[in-house]
Amino acid sequence: MKKTIGIIGGMGPMATIDLYRKIIEVTPANSDNDHIHVVIDSNTLIPDRTAYILGKGEDPAMEMIRTAISLENMGADFLIMACNTAYYYYDRIIPFIKIPMLNMIDETVKEIAKLKMNTVGLLATDGVLASKVYEYKLNEYEINIIKPSEEGQKVVMDLIYNGIKASDFSLDISRFRTVIEELYFSGAETLILGCTELPIAFERFSLKGNAIDPTKILAEKAVQFAFNNKNN
């Protein structure tokens, strides 16, 4: 029997939709009934994850914990989150639930390791960079990491917050294209789209280049877990 997926969403809403869409797309189904039961709580009351990590905002953990417990009570057999930065709080959430929770960061780095790459570029929020959630995991596999310059990181944050989160698809992304080129020029073999808004940006703005989509990887792992009750 298929397991029910619970999505801690709202971080942000469009990223939540993107994760659910990718779950549907990678599910082997010929009819509605072949798809997986998915319970989504798009909780937009969860405070900004990056703001708290940088010491500028309210702790989001308790609201995320409440959402996790709510999803478990609604029948979810395991949980996932539609936000890379949110996995900084992973260890604070799991003691409060009795069901498994997949880790987007771990699953993404495992897939990168299978590709036997030596150097990757990381596009992510300031919170992901400051918390080093990807860096610590990549170091375990001895994979080098390249990050944007200080000015380049401001451009990345502008696209995430003032572009995708604000639903402004008229944003000028010429500077963001330059950031991507600089990462490749510095030796990145691929780019980790380490914020769930970034795969949306790459699609909406038709951005090119070799990139890893953690949202898609999480969707694939969630479908595997739902059908097999194990994390392959």
Per DSSP, which regions of the chain are E strands? 5-9, 38-42, 78-81, 119-124, 144-146, 190-194, 211-212
CA distance 89 to 33: 34
Nearest Cα neighbor of 52 from 15, 23, 91, 88 is 88
CA distance 5 to 23: 10
Peptide bond into 12 cis (omega under 30): yes
CA distance 103 to 208: 27
Pairing of strands 211-212, 190-194: parallel
Using CB atoms within 10 Å of the CB of residue 219, give its burial: 0 to 12 exposed, 13 to 18 middle, 19+ buried. buried
Catalytically annotated residues = 83, 195
